[in-house]
Structure 1
Amino acid sequence: MAPTTRVEHDLVGDKEVPADAYYGVHTVRAVENFAITGSTIAQFPDLITSLAAVKQAAARANRDLGLLPPDIAGAIIRACEEIGSGQLHEQFVVDPVQGGAGTSTNMNANEVIANRALEILGHPRGRYDVIHPLDHVNLGQSTNDVYPTAVRLALVASLRRLGASLGALATAFTVKATEFGDVLKMGRTQLQDAVPMTLGQEFTTYAVMIEEDRQRLDEAADLLLESNLGGTAIGTSINGHPRYAELACRHLADISGELVRPAGDFIEATQDCGAFVQLSGVLKRVAVKLSKTCNDLRLMSSGPTAGLGEINLPPVQAGSSIMPGKVNPVIPEVVNQVAFEVIGNDLTVTMAAEAGQLQLNAFEPVIAYSLLRSLPHLRAACDTLATRCVPGITANREHLHDTVHRSIGLVTALAPHIGYAASTTLARRALATGRGIKELATETGLLTTEQLATILRPENLTGRTPLPEVPTKP
């Protein structure tokens, strides 16, 4: 029978490794040491493909510099290409939250790539005298430049997808804004009647807020594309070739399709987590504004008879096990919950970035873990809102029309023509009697019917056209 294990050796001693595993002794020890989240880095395919891209770029650079024999470099490059295409991801088995500043993740990648490269050259796994995980795959590198570079690339890949989803959500709100362009309603401040607006203007606001956030994501992505690859341990480039950093970044840009560039100061870039904090802040911004938007949707749709009842959200499922006929705003609710998670993750990123000491931040794994979860969850929330909620929203037009003409908020439009004091008196009478502002203004002779018709035209109330001159009563 073929052996079920092979023995590998490291600093600590000998260790049995599953014979069919592409990972090795360092990975096995990491699995034993860090049983934290119940998941593995394979849960984040962007991180795995980015690690493979970094290792492939390094192998290309070392080949170009004559530091790796062509056959070994070629096998490493091919192994990285396979991993980049989605193969062997199940071999990345370390927990994403780990001590060692990401060393276990880097070791896992080195071992999988080395053992697959050995197979490509016709050797059994574990023949590290032929291709060594550290001497060859990790040549000229350190966890401290490989890991953050891979994390940055992974985040950018996920950022691009979130940006596309935000764009689709903004479009969905814009379509609704056009549909609701002629629907007059009362605007509110502090939950009290303010002045009229259109439902279209309200939905346009959501589209504009989302589009602004998409632009901020692009800015965050640009910061992430500055890499310390080639800085090795602390940014001094010890054990690195003078031309390695430039070549490795050039190859990485070619492999990833992103404009990766060397950092201006490798020592600063190795210890600075500012780009992660910036990204986390942008994600928190997205989450806060998405959550506020969903709060509005839930409030406007409250009822259907005992709430605001301005809009109707599409009924996607029954709302209660005890109250027949009840439908809940479940899509906005789930987006709210994703927002709460992202805001909490931002605090984790903030604390981890602040906790760095001297030339390295040892807590980048939890930063990566937090951000790599926030991004896809936000994207899924946007997609869900854009497909399962916004397109099916309808307006209760007659109800909205009635609330405008019953509201004392109309008196604000009269104030420039009859004065603040007279307007206040009119508002108090309207509240006391339950009669409309327009009716009372006509009855008291403050304005003529023709003047009121001009002042209270919807396009004048909502600022959609220049306000015409209205002659005041002598």
Structure 2
Amino acid sequence: MSNTEKNYRIERDGIGEYRVPSSSYYGIHTARALDNFFLNNCKIVNPEIIKGIAIVKLAAARANSMEKKLDSAKGTEIKKACERVFNGEFMDEFPLPAIQGGAGTSTNMNLNEVIANIAIEAMGGEKGDYSLIHPIEDINMSQSTNDVYPTGVKIAAIKVLRELVEEAMKLQEVFQEKEHEFAHVYKLGRTQLQDAVPLTLGQSFGAFGEAISRDRWRLYKIEERLRRINIGGTAVGTGVGASLKYRYYVSEELKRITGYGLARAENLIDATQNLDVFVEVSGLLKTMASSLNKIANDLRFMSCGPLGGIGEINLPAIQMGSSIMPGKINPVGPEFIKQIFHKVQGNDLIISAAVADGELELNALTPLIAESLLENLELLRDGVRMFSSKVIPGVTVNEDVCERMLRSSLSTITRHIDTLGYDELSKILKECEKTGKTYEVILKEKGLLEE
């Protein structure tokens, strides 16, 4: 046997034989998928999805053991293998691209094969000896990709969603701290980028905090939708190949393992074919991204210049801004947030279109939906974390600039509208423009304002 032949093992499926690297824990189905769905430089399946499916496999192994469908020796090693994958081991054995055909079947088979071969080795066998533990007969027992994959994705989404909500709470708190810090600083308000009536800088930051508070509450509540899972529905939601006891056991085990309060959907057929919950979650993520983008715009505007622009606030200098202009500092934090907004917006469109593109009893585009949703969750989680730790705490105010702009603006005359009226104030403003006098001087000259 040549060295090349030693580097591979031969596995068989319903199509025929295929060479698999001898050292690989994955098997023939993964190897075929790698060849079929090759995308240069494409992201691999999100590790959180892999871990979420590993949890489903663990719960299924426990449920099948309770039903005595798995013998004790097999069940023990399978459960240990699932736990190892869930804990982050063997991640190099999940090389499939995020975009793949088959509604996630390739990823499900990837998990089946890796878990089987880990367990086989633990039992003293060699990788690929499926007479000991079979990827489909044992690891995939009572399951289908069509209930395993969406359930794993929801578990992954809940995990990252909770992390995002926690980061959003921290950002809200930082804005509230700035609200108190800047409560004494009056600044010129602006509507449509034109001078408007005054407010405090603290009130501006307080409004930022309120916006994030609403986003945080929306995302906290949407977790309820993700907790409804279709596990036990198998291929189309009818539960073929899975007993009633298994359906109960596997749901309870998932709830016990995750602590997420998961519950089997009342209508498993509906929960298998309709993925509108992902559109709903994505919509709220886009809403939060919109709030963050608006805040980022405001911070860039108020800090622009600083000498040749508004310059009311200073953003922290977290890195140099130019390779040619010494001393230049750019608002890279807000720009980071703005790009995340555009990416989230694009992924939301993908999710909406892909969910709408489902047919009959299944949506074949689930991998694209899952990857786009997880990417949005992680982008926002990491973006909010950066914003709350490196940008907002370091914001400072130029009080003299705020006061100068406030005093030089004619818009503050609005405070006299109740006593003098709109028309009278309009005449006084025209006189200001002609004479160059401030409106306070003219009001005093006309006896309309006491010293």
Q: With the length of structure 1 as denominator, give the TM-score of the two structures.
A: 0.91
Question: Does 2:279 align with 1:274?
Answer: no
- Judge conservation of contact 1:79–1:117 (CA < 8 Å) in 2: yes
Question: Does 2:101 align with 1:89?
Answer: no
Moved more, 440-449 or 266-275: 440-449
1:347-380 CA deviation, whole Å, 9 max, x = no partner? 1111111110111110011111111222222222
Aligned counterparts, 1:128-143, within 5 A: 128-143=130-145
- Judge conservation of contact 1:99–1:363 (CA < 8 Å) in 2: yes
Match of 1:102 in 2: 104
Question: Does 2:10 align with 1:12?
Answer: no
Aligned counterparts, 1:128-277, within 5 A: 128-277=130-279
Secondary structure of residue in 2 paired with 1:15: strand
Q: CA deviation at 1:185?
A: 0.7
Aligned length: 448
Aligned counterparts, 1:297-312, within 5 A: 297-312=299-314
Structure 1 residue identity aligned to 2:10: V
Identity level (%): 43
Q: CA deviation at 1:443?
A: 2.0
Q: CA deviation at 1:39?
A: 4.4
RMSD of aligned residue pairs (Cα, Å): 1.5
**Cα distance change on mapping 1:394 and 1:435 into 2, 3 Å:** farther
1:115-172 CA deviation, whole Å, 9 max, x = no partner? 1111222222212122111111111100000000001111111111111211222222
Q: Which runs of 5+ in 1 are unaligned?
A: 450-474
- Judge conservation of contact 2:440–2:449 (CA < 8 Å) in 1: no
Match of 1:391 in 2: 393
- Judge conservation of contact 1:300–1:311 (CA < 8 Å) in 2: yes
Q: Which runs of 5+ in 2 are unaligned?
A: none
- Judge conservation of contact 1:5–1:18 (CA < 8 Å) in 2: yes
Q: Select the residue among 368, 371, 374 that pairs with 1:369.
A: 371
Aligned counterparts, 1:299-338, within 5 A: 299-338=301-340
- Judge conservation of contact 1:37–1:96 (CA < 8 Å) in 2: no
Match of 1:454 in 2: none
Q: Select the residue among 13, 24, 27 that pairs with 1:24.
A: 27
1:183-210 CA deviation, whole Å, 9 max, x = no partner? 0011111111121100000001111111
Match of 1:468 in 2: none
Distance in 2, Cα, partners of 1:83 & 1:342: 29
Q: Select the residue among 33, 38, 42 that pairs with 2:41.
A: 38
Distance in 1, Cα, partners of 2:39 & 2:288: 29
1:26-63 CA deviation, whole Å, 9 max, x = no partner? 00000101112634546x22112111100000111111
- Judge conservation of contact 1:40–1:93 (CA < 8 Å) in 2: no
Match of 1:458 in 2: none
Secondary structure of residue in 2 paired with 1:243: helix
Structure 1 residue identity aligned to 2:439: I
Secondary structure of residue in 1 paired with 2:244: coil
Moved more, 33-42 or 288-297: 33-42
Q: CA deviation at 1:317?
A: 2.4
1:419-450 CA deviation, whole Å, 9 max, x = no partner? 1211222222234434333332222112323x
Secondary structure of residue in 2 paired with 1:389: helix
Question: Does 2:126 align with 1:124?
Answer: yes
Distance in 1, Cα, partners of 2:340 & 2:393: 21
